[in-house]
Structure 1
């Protein structure tokens, strides 16, 4: 088959199966990216969720022998929630970031890529292909940038002219010599809004992120949240959209193109108190289909406790006392203690003083003391 004709047929088929944008890139090594990643590691900016082998992250031939091209795909997701519920003083709500509003995008994009693989291998039976979404070795952003999907913004997201940065990315390495597309010209210019408003200063400079300060990363950790970030995450349960929502390129961008990516408002913006006593089974049944559930219920529950402290929700005090007294997890007991101090009712103080006499875990004792200091400060 004529290789240019094949490319056109791949593009046409991609539209049929719900791929919103497709681009093609060479499979040569990403040398500039490798240099950046080495510096990133030296500075201690990695999150720990990445593929540790920098060679695999930057050399497609190590992942697929005789790799010649990479197909990049983008699928747009909504930026606005229809009929979003509002929290009340009695029922405060948290929020999942937009990338976790619908069904887990890893599964949605893998489905698209599987269909694309089947289409290509039917056309070219000898073709060898390797697809990945987010958790693969390659950098989705670097591939998308090279393939002309969009430019790499100062907020470290790929920004497409059509959909802004509200897109999921995936890619497929191939042994086919598909003609590469041209990269998109950088559109950020002198704008620094994302850097200026990042709540924790995680955006060190345009295009450079200290993952360990990024709220999106911090909400996914399982230990105690460092003190300096507890007042920064607000009611975020998973992820952070601040650097996207302030981006001028995202103004007016809101696409509802795929039913499976539409949010269930009660899951995307849930009541906080019911999360605190939720069992593993209940959590999996309600939240298991969204990407924000991948680390389990513990980080979400910890973040819900911090959110209740953020609201100084006195109606949550009885629930927080239950956690302080009975939860087997030190992180949850300790965070509940800190939250009780932040809320600071007489009942909360009394329970903290009693807990200080009974608690055996050093980390929890320290959190109880923090809570009491908050009351007295």
Structure 2
């Protein structure tokens, strides 16, 4: 079998099916990554969403019998909306990060990887493959870096020379011995713009992230958002783009290569108030196809309440009071109480004093007190 020719055939086919970058890497253990992950674990910097077994994350042989190489792919996504809806007083809007625009990228990349698998199998029937996108054991970024897709930036994103860091990543472990591609040299140099701009200081140093402080992680949690992060979240409903937006490598980068990645403006920048009482069915119909919906409506609703407080949107007080009085979930009621206090006004104070008399949940009562403190300061 001429594996060099097969590699060229795979590269050519990948372009036909809309894969923007493809690279080939060895399936050797990721020893440097393992050391970094152990250190992250010691520092308690991990989000908890990752595969917990560090050995599985760094040794392909533990998840695939006799791996010989890994194929990495990247697809570029848009960084700008063609028609961006503008929020205004009385009609405030929240934002989903750019990586959550359009159809869920897991679906898009799995489709491309499946086509790639079928092509390889048509050439080599005995080929074995295992594809992963984001939720697999391996680190997508480590594989992409080794395969020459891009370098690992100080913002912990893979940065490609062609598309900046606005790329989705996926990979396929195979039992075929492809010649590996060479990794790229970092072009970050002395630049620290991403570190300086991070709203919560989650980027501890170049290439090191405290995931528990990262807004992208915080917007996906389901509990009360810690006090110190509430003013930092702004109107973000899911994810954060700051460390990518400020990156010089992303200046002027905006590719619209895949129709299914184009955002629906009303989904990517939705009105905040209608989210407060959206039903499960309505949420699934409006947001079910985007990656930002994977944790359900609760985190999005909590973040929408925080966003209304961020804007000090007085017209939202009646809706927030209704949430405080009627929502059965303590996290949502409590966050509404805090937001009502932050926005302020006579109606807000009366609603909090009334709720204080009837509320029984201790966590919600704490949030009511936090809300009332705004009137004494």
- Does TM-score exceed 0.5, indicating one fold? yes
* Structure 2 residue matching 1:169: 3-state secondary structure: strand
Deviation at 1:90, TM superposition (A): 1.1
Give the corresponding residue for 2:260: 260
Matched, 1:177 2:177: yes
Give the corresponding residue for 2:80: 80
Give the corresponding residue for 1:240: 240
In 2: Cα distance, 1:67 partner to 1:224 partner: 43
Deviation at 1:345, TM superposition (A): 1.1
Cα deviation, 1:305-352, whole Å, max 9, x if unaligned, reads 000000000110000000000000000000000000000010010000
Matched, 1:231 2:235: no
* 1:300-319 to 2 correspondences below 5 Å: 300-319=300-319
In 1: Cα distance, 2:284 partner to 2:16 partner: 32
Deviation at 1:258, TM superposition (A): 0.1
Which stretches of structure 1, 4 residues or more, deviate above 6 A after TM superposition? Answer: none
The answer for unaligned runs of 5 or more in structure 1 is none
In 1: Cα distance, 2:178 partner to 2:62 partner: 19
Cα deviation, 1:133-185, whole Å, max 9, x if unaligned, reads 00000000000000000000000000000000000000000000000000000
Quote the RMSD (CA, aligned, Å). Answer: 0.4
* 1:149-164 to 2 correspondences below 5 Å: 149-164=149-164
In 2: Cα distance, 1:149 partner to 1:375 partner: 54
In 1: Cα distance, 2:179 partner to 2:315 partner: 61
Give the corresponding residue for 1:191: 191
* Structure 2 residue matching 1:179: 3-state secondary structure: coil
In 2: Cα distance, 1:122 partner to 1:376 partner: 72
Cα deviation, 1:60-113, whole Å, max 9, x if unaligned, reads 011111100000000000000111000010100000000001100000000000
Deviation at 1:227, TM superposition (A): 0.1
Give the corresponding residue for 1:47: 47
In 2: Cα distance, 1:16 partner to 1:224 partner: 46
Matched, 1:140 2:140: yes
Give the corresponding residue for 1:60: 60
In 1: Cα distance, 2:158 partner to 2:375 partner: 44
Give the corresponding residue for 1:271: 271
In 2: Cα distance, 1:298 partner to 1:253 partner: 33
* 1:1-377 to 2 correspondences below 5 Å: 1-377=1-377
In 2: Cα distance, 1:347 partner to 1:159 partner: 49
* Structure 1 residue matching 2:188: 3-state secondary structure: coil
Cα deviation, 1:186-209, whole Å, max 9, x if unaligned, reads 110000000011000000000000
* Structure 1 residue matching 2:70: 3-state secondary structure: strand
* Structure 2 residue matching 1:72: 3-state secondary structure: strand
The answer for unaligned runs of 5 or more in structure 2 is none
Deviation at 1:375, TM superposition (A): 2.3
* Structure 1 residue matching 2:118: 3-state secondary structure: helix
In 1: Cα distance, 2:22 partner to 2:56 partner: 23
